[in-house]
Chain A
Amino acid sequence: MDEIELIDRCKKQDSSAQKFLYNKYSGLLLGICSRYSKSLSDAEDILQEGFLKIFLNIKYFAAIGSFEGWLKKIMVNTAITHYHKNLKHQYHYDIEDIKEISIETNEFEEIEFSKEELFETIQSLPDGYKMVFNLYAVEGYKHKEIAEMMSIDINTSKSQYSRAKKIIQTKLLELKQKKYVKLQKRY
C-alpha cells in the first residue's frame, strides 16, 4: 500500500488501513510524545489521543506538504494540549541545585553521549522548559511560533529556552565528568 492509497483508505475509515497506518507510524510518533511527557504511560495517552485526532481529521489532510510532517505536527499539538491540561496539578520539580555552576560554552562532543543519556537530560527538565526545549531545539520551531502554540509570551519562550539549555548543559557536563572518572578507574 503506498502513502496516497493509505491516506485515501483511511479517509474512508477503512479499519485495516487505519491499523496499517498505526503500525507504520506509532513508533516514530511515540518517540515524539515521550519527549514531551513524564512517563511512558503519559506518552501513550498522548499517542492515543493524537491518533484519534489523526483518524477523525484525516479527511482534511490536503496532501500539501509531507504526510509524516502533518502527523508529527498533530502529535506535537496534542502534547501541548495535554501539557496545558495538566499544568494546574504540577508545581514541584526535582532538580538538584545547579545554580552554582554557569557555563558559557554551547558545544559538546556528540560522540560522548548516548541517545538514552540525552533523553534523560530532556526528561529531567521541568515541564514548561521541556516543552519549549523540545519545540525549539528538536522540532525546530521559531520562538514566535512556540509563543503562539503554547499561548505564552515570546519572551517567556526565549527565557525558558535559555534556562532549559543551561540546565541541559550542566547535566551534560556532570555526565561527562562522571564518565571520565569511570574511564580513569578502568585503567
Chain B
Amino acid sequence: MSNFKKDIENFYQDAFNNYELKPSDKVWGNIEKELMKKSFFKFNPKKINIYYTVIIVLLTVGLSSAFLLNKKTDTKFSAQIFDVTSVINNSRNTISENQIQASNDKVIASNHTIFKEEVVEKNNLISTNSEIFTTEIEQVNNDLLQKSEINNTKIIFGISDAVNVNITNEKADTISKFAEQKNVKFGLSDCKGCAPFKVVFDSKIQNIGLAKWDFGDGNISTEINPEHIYNTHGKYVVCVEYLVNGEKSKFFDTVYVNETPVAKFDVSNSNLQKKEIVEFVNYSQNATIYNWDFGDNTINTEFEPEHSYIQAGKFTIKLKVTNSANCSDSSSKELEIKEEKYQIVFPTAFTPNISGSNGGTYSLTNVNNDVFYPVIAKGVEEYNLTIYNRKGIIIFTTDDIKIGWDGYFNNQLVSPEVYVYAVKGKYFNGEEFLVTGNVTLFY
C-alpha cells in the first residue's frame, strides 16, 4: 500500500482537473440552431435578418394596399402591381425601383410615403422609450420644463387632487396570499410597497381626452386609469400628461418600491426518525429576520436552526423571512418523520491491530477499523455477541455492547480468515433479535 496520502481537496482536484466527457452530437446541433436564431434578430448588413424581413413585409403590405385601392379604378394596373410584389419577394433585399416606376408612378409615391411614415413613427417610439429610462428627478424635471416651453404645457407638481392611487402588494405567498390594499392620494409620497408592487392609478380629473402615463421604469400607458406592477425595487418617478378640452396638464410623483426578501430553505438530511436532529439549510436572500415554524407547535428565530421531533408523522415546516423594510416572503416544505426503527448492523470485515490486543474498546470516531463492533446499534437493551472460528469453537463472547472483538484469542492474534458471529438480545420495545453473519479478518 502506498504511503502517498493527501487531503480530499487535493486528490479530487487532481482527479478532475482534466476530466473529460464526450457530449452527444445533438448538443452542437442545438447550439448552432440557437446561434442562427440569435443572428437572425441581430442587424447585419451582409446577412438576411429580421430587419430585411420587416422591410420586405412592409413593402408587400404597402404595395398590396395600394393595389387594393386602385383595383376599383384600374383593373389592368392590378396585374402589373402583382408582378412587382413577386419581384420584390424573389430578390428579397434588392428593391428594383426602376421596375416599379415603370409600372406606375402614382403607386411608387404612395408606397414611399407609407414606408417613410412607418419608419418615422418607429424612430419616435424609440426616442420616447430612451427618454423614459432616465429616472433621475432633476433630469425629468428639466425635460418637463423644456417640453413645457415648447408645447406650452401646464405643469403641476405632485398635486394630490388629480389622482387617486390604489396600491396592492402583489407578492404571491406560498402559504397564504395576502393582499393589502390602501387608498393613497397621489403626491403625498405615501406610495410605498414591496416588490412586486401593484399600483392602480385612478384619474380624478373629468373629461379627459387623452392621458399619457410614464411609470418611470421604462413602461408607458395611454389608459386613463391604468394599473402597473413594479417588479424590481427602486424609486420611480411617475408622470402623467392629460389633454382636457384641448389643454395639456402634467402631474408627477414618486413611487417607492422596497426590495422583497426571498425565503428558501432545505432540509439537510432525509429518511428521518423521531428524536433525530433535523438540520435546516437556509438559502434565503436579503432578509434580516427569520421565523421558523416547525409544524409541531414549536418556533425558532435562528438563521439555521436544528430541531428534533418527538412524534412521528408529516410536518409542514414554514419559514417566513422579513427585511428591514418590513417586506416579507415565506416558503414551506413538508417533512415526513418516521417511527423510530431499532436495528443493529455489523461490518463485514476488519483489520486487527497486529501490535497487540487493546481489550476490545472502541470509539465511533476511530477509522482504523481494528475492532469488530456494531456500527449501527439503535435501541439495544440486551446484547450478547459470540464469535466462532471455522471449527465452531467460541473464540470470543461479550455481553457489553461497549466492548468489541479486537481479533485476539488468548492474547494471540488469530489467523486471517472468515469468522462467524451471532448476536442476540432485546430492543427497548421488548422485541428480541438474533443476527448471524460472517466477518472477514485480515492484516
Query: Residues on A close to B: CB < 8 A?
Result: 13, 15, 18-19, 22, 26-28, 30-32, 34-35, 40, 43-44, 47-48, 51-52, 55-56, 87, 91-97, 99-111, 115, 118-119, 122, 126, 128, 136-138, 140, 151-153, 155-156, 159-160, 163, 165, 168-169, 173, 177, 180-181, 184-185
Contact = CB atoms under 8 A, between A and B. Distances in A.
A104 B363 CA distance: 11
B138 interface: no
Contact of B21 (A31, A101, A103): A31
Given A52-B35, A110-B5, A181-B440, 18 more contacts: A22-B28, A44-B23, A48-B30, A52-B34, A95-B271, A100-B376, A103-B365, A107-B5, A109-B4, A111-B2, A128-B281, A137-B12, A137-B13, A140-B13, A153-B303, A155-B304, A156-B281, A177-B369
Nearest to A51: B31
Contact of A159 (B6, B8, B39, B304): B304
A48 B375 CA distance: 45
Nearest to A25: B20
Contact of B442 (A160, A163, A180): A180
Contacts of A87: 264, 283
A105 B365 CA distance: 9
A47 B25 CA distance: 12
A51 B1 CA distance: 43
Contacts of A32: 19
Contacts of A44: 23-24, 27
A108 B440 contact: no
B39 A13 contact: yes
Contact of B349 (A15, A100, A181): A181
B102 interface: no
A99 B20 contact: no
9 contacts: A30-B21, A31-B19, A31-B20, A99-B276, A106-B7, A108-B5, A109-B2, A155-B303, A177-B348
A138 B12 contact: yes
B35 A18 contact: yes
Nearest to B347: A177
B375 A30 contact: no
B15 A95 contact: no
B31 A115 contact: no
Interface string B337-379: 0000000000111010000000000001101010000011000
B14 interface: yes
Given A18-B35, A103-B365, A26 B16 contact: no
Given A97-B271, A153-B303, A128 B347 contact: no
Contacts of B303: 153, 155
* Chain A residues touching B, majority SS: helix
B44 to A, nearest CB: 9
Contacts of A119: 16, 19
Most central of A48, A136, A156, A185 by chain B CB within 10 Å? A48
B38 interface: yes
B283 A102 contact: no
B377 to A, nearest CB: 9
Contacts of B376: 97, 100
Given A44-B27, A52-B35, A137-B12, A128 B442 contact: no
B176 interface: no
Contacts of B416: 184
B367 A103 contact: yes
A173 B367 contact: yes
A22 B2 CA distance: 39
Contacts of B15: 110, 115, 118
A97 B276 CA distance: 11
Contacts of B4: 109-111
B266 interface: yes
Given A30-B21, A115-B19, A160 B270 contact: no
Interface in B269-300: 269-271, 276, 279, 281-283, 285
Contacts of A43: 21
Contacts of B22: 26-27, 30
B349 A99 contact: no
A101 B375 contact: yes
A26 B23 contact: yes
Contact of B31 (A22, A31, A155, A181): A22
A152 B285 CA distance: 7
A106 B10 CA distance: 11
Contact of A92 (B8, B270, B347, B349): B270
A165 B279 CA distance: 16
Contacts of B38: 52, 56
A4 B234 CA distance: 43
B415 to A, nearest CB: 13
A101 B375 CA distance: 7
A161 to B, nearest CB: 10
B4 to A, nearest CB: 7
B333 A99 contact: no
B12 A128 contact: no
Contact of A156 (B20, B283, B367, B442): B283
Contacts of B13: 137-138, 140
A44 B279 CA distance: 32
Most central of A87, A99, A173 by chain B CB within 10 Å? A99
Contacts of B411: none
A96 B276 CA distance: 14
A165 B23 contact: no
A160 B304 CA distance: 11
Contact of B27 (A18, A48, A99, A122): A48
Contacts of B267: 91
B74 to A, nearest CB: 48
